[in-house]
A and B are shown apart, each in its own frame.
Chain A
Amino acid sequence: MNLFVPRVLGMTAFGILCVFFLVPLAFMVVVSFYKADPMAFYQETFTWENYQKFFSGFYLNVTLRTLWTTALGAVLVVILAFTAMLAIAELSRKWQLFWILVLLSLMCLSEVIVGFSWLILLSESAGIPRLLGALGFWDNPRSLSPSFGAMMIGLVMLGFSVVSLILYPQVAGRDKSIEEAAQTLGTAPHLVTLYVTLPIFMQTLIALTLTMFVYLLGVFVMPIMLGRPRDWTMTVMISDKALGDANLPLGSALAVIMLIITGVILLISLLASRKRTA
């Protein structure tokens, strides 16, 4: 058996991984220790300064806020998508297909378009506030964005279709008799989802929540478009630093810290879920 070809392929794949992922990562780590130079870009002298800035309070605050926002967003996305899929799975074939197509087309929309359409929907001149005003439910209608809620809607919107489409085949194809069995064993119908369906899907939902968490951490457009400055996440700060202020060292240091925090959170969740199943 000639192992040459598979080896070469393997090495190539590894090489590509290195070039496209590890090299920029290494570069980022290195730059994060350079000294920022307001006049130029950075000086190639070693400093901890960038990391010290992180612990100055402000960035620490933003980090906590980011983790909390993103976690909330991820949990909301997964809960909403799961509930929606449970409901859609009850519909007739035709309607299921319809909603799946809707979700698929939603997925094709870019972040900017989703953000922009919510911007309009929440604006007082064209959107929901205006409608409420016209119907007489709101005396002095005002834009609902930028706000924390608007940003959350944007984040949830982004993840919703993906998570829904991942969940749909599993939810629609599940063995309904398990839930019926729970009923014959004395579970009231409205509690069946909570006691049986949810626990059965728990592993999947946790995995999806973590995936969404990581994905939403990197979202830039929604906080900027729909959030107030006090809602901006670390990603916004990092790109502000790296692009806006051309302070690549600080931007890199913040990115490295976020990477570490994300990694630690994922690791802990992984270990925790291992323990649960063990």
Chain B
Amino acid sequence: MSELVISKVDKRFGKTVALDDVSLRIKSGEFICLLGSSGCGKTTLLRIIAGLEQSDSGELQLDGESLTRLASHKRNIGMVFQSLALFPHLNVSRNIAYGLKMRGVDAETTKTRVEELLKLTGLTGFGARAVTSLSGGQKQRVAIARALALEPRLFLMDEPFSALDAGLRDHLQQEVKKLQKQLGVTTIFVTHDQSEAMALADRIVILNNGKIEQAGSPKEVYQQPSSRFVAEFIGANNLFDVTIESGAVRFKEYNLGSSIVIGTDLRGTQTLTVRPETITLLPPGNSSGNSRGNSSGNSGAFLQGAVVMQRTIGALIEHDIDIDGHLIKQTMLQNNDYEVSVGDTVGLSWDWSQAWFLPGESG
């Protein structure tokens, strides 16, 4: 149960900037998901924390103690590698017991601890099996059990489930989450899958090109993205470049409403984000020739455009609506009263409490 403070960590590989001024404070017992696209530096950060890589500058502190001079093997940080890295020459029990043996724990204690871990990870009875004979999911569990055997101060996992099929992944995600809560171990889980991050994390840390874009609860990063990158990276999103002038929020020629009604005191050019599921489709305004200067009062629609794509995904229907060459995504439940089809002209509206202006982008 430890608190990790990462301050101003930089790392370059030749000309590649892998980490750029990364600072983060991770609370004891917190489950952090490190999220980012491939090559953004997730593994590098994890390896620096584990002591397998040296940062060029910056500092790491675990419970107030600097890690900089502490060799990897003295850090007591449990890590599950992207490739699992099980010891192929040892059986399941010996894999799990390896760290205990290194630490000189006596045979009796080791045995009970290994049994405990096998039970915890649902591997009871598999102790004597060769690791090479296990299925992908079972190997995962061995890797987790092995990393947890020493009751590590930090538990690091590098895309552990990326090679598994969706069903097994879901299952293991839940188990890991449960295990983490049960043990209360501070955990950093690397993934490039945002839904995985959403499902697991207490806090999601989004990395982009070696920089932290945003760190916040799943709800926060989803509803209040701090940057265009986060807004587009997490979930589907609609971005509008709007101008706010003399109390009116305008997108292209459309007047979306007054800033007082919308509840913003921003000015100038701003980026508005509206999630597809918060958009409501309405019948088009009174007439197609309706003035664009004003939203059609009777329907309440801010915008109007043609449906160019429609598809059904499970319980949801997804639409693409073309508004003067700007494609807007919209999703709704299937059993909606208002049914549209491709080619229809529709009006769009949304609940302003769900819309979000990206911060720090005023022009």
Bound Cα distance from A184 to B75, whole angstroms: 7
B58-102 at interface with A (beta carbon < 8 Å) = 71-79, 81-83, 85-89, 98-99, 102
Which residue in chain A gives the minimum CB-CB distance to B81?
A177
Quick one: CB contact mask for A178-214 with B, threshold 8 Å, 1 for yes? Answer: 1011111111110000011001101000000000000
Q: Is the pair B89, A200 in contact by a Cβ cutoff of 8 Å?
A: yes
Contacts of A175 in B (CB 8 A): 83, 85
Kindly state whether residue B146 has any CB partner on chain A within 8 Å. Answer: yes
- Cross-interface CB contact of A183 among B72, B89, B103, cutoff 8 Å: B72
Q: Is the interface of A mostly helix, strand, loop or mixed?
A: helix
- Cross-interface CB contact of B83 among A177, A188, A189, cutoff 8 Å: A177
Q: Is the pair A185, B99 in contact by a Cβ cutoff of 8 Å?
A: yes
Q: Is the pair A181, B71 in contact by a Cβ cutoff of 8 Å?
A: no
Contacts of B98 in A (CB 8 A): 182, 185
* With contact pairs A186-B99, A186-B150, A187-B102 given, residues A181 and B85 touching in the complex (Cβ less than 8 Å): yes
Quick one: CB contact mask for A30-72 with B, threshold 8 Å, 1 for yes? Answer: 0000000000000000000000000000000000000000000
Q: Is the pair B73, A187 in contact by a Cβ cutoff of 8 Å?
A: yes
Contacts of B75 in A (CB 8 A): 184
Bound Cα distance from A33 to B355, whole angstroms: 101
Q: Is the pair B83, A185 in contact by a Cβ cutoff of 8 Å?
A: no
Which residue in chain A gives the minimum CB-CB distance to B79?
A184
Contacts of B76 in A (CB 8 A): 186
Contacts of A183 in B (CB 8 A): 51-52, 72-73
Contacts of B102 in A (CB 8 A): 185-187, 195
Which residue in chain B gives the minimum CB-CB distance to A203?
B89
Q: Is the pair B86, A184 in contact by a Cβ cutoff of 8 Å?
A: no
Contacts of B73 in A (CB 8 A): 183-189
Query: Number of B residues contacting the other chain (C-beta, 8 Å)?
Result: 29
Choose among B77, B81, B88 the residue with the greatest number of A CB atoms under 10 Å from its CB.
B81
- Cross-interface CB contact of A184 among B72, B87, B89, cutoff 8 Å: B72
Q: Is the pair B52, A178 in contact by a Cβ cutoff of 8 Å?
A: no
CB distance from B204 to the nearest CB of A (A): 24
Contacts of B89 in A (CB 8 A): 199-200, 202
Quick one: CB contact mask for A123-134 with B, threshold 8 Å, 1 for yes? Answer: 000000000000
Bound Cα distance from A195 to B76, whole angstroms: 18
Bound Cα distance from A182 to B78, whole angstroms: 10
Contacts of B150 in A (CB 8 A): 185-186
Bound Cα distance from A181 to B99, whole angstroms: 10
Bound Cα distance from A182 to B79, whole angstroms: 10
* With contact pairs A180-B81, A181-B81 given, residues A186 and B87 touching in the complex (Cβ less than 8 Å): no
CB distance from A176 to the nearest CB of B (A): 9
Contacts of A200 in B (CB 8 A): 87-89
- Cross-interface CB contact of B79 among A181, A187, A188, A195, cutoff 8 Å: A181
Contacts of B81 in A (CB 8 A): 177, 180-181
Kindly state whether residue B244 has any CB partner on chain A within 8 Å. Answer: no
Bound Cα distance from A210 to B179, whole angstroms: 48
Quick one: CB contact mask for B96-128 with A, threshold 8 Å, 1 for yes? Answer: 001100110000000000000000000000000
CB distance from B44 to the nearest CB of A (A): 13
Bound Cα distance from A185 to B77, whole angstroms: 8
Bound Cα distance from A202 to B90, whole angstroms: 12
Which residue in chain B gives the minimum CB-CB distance to A202?
B89
Kindly state whether residue B50 has any CB partner on chain A within 8 Å. Answer: yes
Jot down 11 A-B pairs with beta carbons below 8 A, ordered by A: A175-B83, A178-B86, A180-B47, A180-B50, A180-B85, A182-B87, A183-B51, A184-B51, A184-B77, A188-B73, A199-B89
Known: A177-B82, A183-B51. 20 other contacts (CB 8 A): A175-B85, A177-B83, A178-B87, A180-B47, A180-B50, A180-B81, A181-B81, A181-B87, A184-B51, A184-B73, A184-B78, A184-B79, A185-B99, A186-B74, A186-B99, A186-B150, A187-B102, A188-B73, A189-B73, A202-B89
Interface residues of A (CB under 8 A from B): 175, 177-178, 180-189, 195-196, 199-200, 202
Top 7 A-B pairs, shortest CB-CB distance: A185-B99, A186-B102, A177-B85, A181-B85, A177-B81, A183-B72, A178-B85
